[in-house]
Copies of this chain bind each other. A is one copy, B any other.
Amino acid sequence: MQDPYPHPEIEAVPLTEVLHALSDPLRLRILATLAADGERGWGAFAAGVSPSTLSHHMKVLRQAGLVRHRREGTRCVVTLRDEIGARFPGLLDTVLALEAQAEPAS
């Protein structure tokens, strides 16, 4: 799990992979929290799922170019990757806006 997490080239991410990454309630919730509150530690999303499950979803988001992971001592910080807005303009904004309005309390 060494520091250099594998982050893909944003240009190499296909649209369908991003859409698939967005099509899960937990992952959507993670992105919404990040968009609203800025970067967070792992633990902010640990409720309800096991550590390994959370790690899996984080990897999906990272491989889809949606988030960036950074090591900070013993814990890990996740950030929204804003290049996604350049690669697929409007996509994340639109989806997060809809998620906020349609699934208010998830």
A residues with a Cβ closer than 8 A to B are 14-17, 19-20, 22-25, 28, 88-91, 94-95, 97-99, 102-103
The chain B residue sitting closest to A103, CB to CB, is B15
Copies of this chain, whole number: 2
Q: Are A16 and B24 closer than 8 Å at their CB atoms?
A: yes
Contacts of A28 in B (CB 8 A): 15-16
Given known contacts A88-B98, A90-B94, is B25 in contact with A23 (CB within 8 Å)? no
Contacts of A24 in B (CB 8 A): 16
Q: Are B88 and A19 closer than 8 Å at their CB atoms?
A: no
Contacts of A14 in B (CB 8 A): 102-103
Q: How far is the CA of A98 from the CA of B98 in the complex (A)?
A: 18
